[in-house]
Amino acid sequence: MNLRFRNLLVRAKSLAAIALKKIQALYRIERDITAMTPEERHRIRGLRSKPLLEELRTWLYQHIPIVPPRSALGKAMNYADKQWPKLIVYLEDGRLRMDNNLVENAIRPFVIGRKNFLFCDTVAGANASANLYSLIETAKANGIEPYAYLRMVFTELPQ
């Protein structure tokens, strides 16, 4: 490995570590304010998160020009830059979450199921599978045990 490439790799790892530390600090704030009311979360985010996000934005502006845009770090930085207004919208309302992890986790079974739908013999079979996934995930999202819910639905529905 040539020395110039090695130095670039070390620099990219250092920059990625800096970005991760800044993001971790934002998640620590969110962990600290989880039990607060939406109004309190909004106020604390304005005091603590907003300055960190402004610092992260400045850091992005300073480093995007020196990171190769096709590198993994360059792609991540350019994505963050282009999506910035969407990334900081949670500052505006204490009811909003910082990320969409709950949604990502909820749709994961559908993504896995989508691959399985390819093996359904008919469109009706694929629709039935999708409907079942939807019922199961809706039950989970509402804190209901899916098997008990489906048993109740399929017992009561015919009546």
DSSP string across 32-94:
HHTTS-HHHHHHHIIIIIHHHHHHHHHHHHHHGGGS-TTSHHHHHHHHHHHTHHHHSGGGG-T
| Residue 133 · residue 107 · CB < 8 Å | no
What would the pLDDT profile of 73-97 be if each residue is shown by its tens digit?
999 999 999 999 999 999 999 999 9
**Which pLDDT score, from 0 to 100, does residue 9 have?**
57
Q: What is the pLDDT of residue 27?
A: 97
The list of the chain residues with pLDDT below 70 reads 1-12, 113, 116-117
pLDDT given for residue 8 in this prediction = 56
Q: What is the pLDDT of residue 1?
A: 57
The CB density around residue 45, as the number of other CB atoms within 10 Å, is 24
* Sign of the four-CA dihedral 122, 128, 130, 133: negative
Q: Write down the pLDDT at residue 147.
A: 94
C-alpha dihedral (31, 35, 41, 47), degrees to nearest 10: -50
Q: According to the model, what pLDDT value does residue 34 have?
A: 94
